[in-house]
Amino acid sequence: MRLVIREVNAGFWNPFEEPKPRPKQENCVICGLEMGNEKTYSCPHCGAVGHMSCFDDWLVVKQTCPLCRRPLVEM
């Protein structure tokens, strides 16, 4: 029974754990298009990567990473 509970708990987000770095991405986390040769931005917390222009637009509305939701803009 403990094994089943451990496996179920493995799928849930733990707010007390630091986010794990993500593997190298080929698509922007915001628009979903390929990264290509455009300038990119990477979240310092989780490593999420996206087009610089997409992050510029995103940060106007939200000041957090689109994946890990940690702050990207200091107040």
Residue 13 lies in a domain: no
Q: Output the pLDDT for position 63.
A: 93
Helix (H, G, I), strand (E, B) or coil at 52: helix
Q: Output the pLDDT for position 47.
A: 86
Tens place of pLDDT per residue across the chain (75 aa) = 455 445 555 556 677 777 666 566 689 999 999 988 889 999 988 889 999 999 999 999 999 999 999 998 775
Question: Which amino acid appears at position 20 of this protein?
Answer: K
Residue 57 lies in a domain: yes
47, 73 Cβ separation under 8 angstroms: no
Residue 48 lies in a domain: yes
- Between CA 56 and CA 41 the distance in angstroms is 9
38, 56 Cβ separation under 8 angstroms: no
- Which residues span the domain enclosing 28? 19-75
Domain count, the chain: 1
Q: Output the pLDDT for position 33.
A: 94
Residue 6 lies in a domain: no
